[in-house]
């Protein structure tokens, strides 16, 4: 697991031979690995009111009400 900075405008991957075909992609810079993976159980305990983590299936945008606290949580693992 890692964090990074988005360095380009997101765009749809249009090459059907690429693994991310049909999904949004962007260039990422300043990548920093976390000290260890964050276990799903940890996230569920820390954010019990965030329904997504009960059965996560795909990428999401972090809801604004969780944005600051989730970012702080991730930074604890650098």
- What is the model's pTM? 0.78
Query: Is the predicted pLDDT of residue 47 greater than 90, yes or no?
Result: yes
49 with 77, same domain? yes
Which of helix, strand or coil describes residue 68?
Answer: helix
Domain that holds residue 71: 39-78
3-17 pLDDT, tens digit each: 999 999 999 999 999
Domain check: are 22 and 44 in the same one? no
Distance (Å) of CA 2 to CA 37, 46, 48, 57, 72: 9, 19, 23, 19, 14
Work out how many domains the chain is built from and give that number: 2
Cα–Cα distances (Å) from 46 to 41, 53, 65, 70, in that order, read 9, 10, 14, 9
Write the CB contacts of 17 (distance below 8 Å, at least 6 apart in sequence). Answer: none
**78 and 47 in one domain?**
yes
pLDDT of the residue at 58:
84
């Amino acid at each position: 697991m890692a964090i990074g900075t988005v360095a380009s405008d997101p765009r749809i991957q249009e090459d059907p031979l690429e693994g991310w075909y049909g999904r949004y992609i962007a260039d990422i810079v300043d990548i920093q690995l976390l000290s260890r993976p964050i276990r799903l159980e940890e996230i569920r305990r820390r954010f019990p009111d965030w329904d997504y983590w009960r059965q996560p299936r795909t990428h999401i945008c972090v809801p604004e009400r969780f944005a600051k606290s989730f970012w702080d949580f991730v930074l604890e693992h650098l």
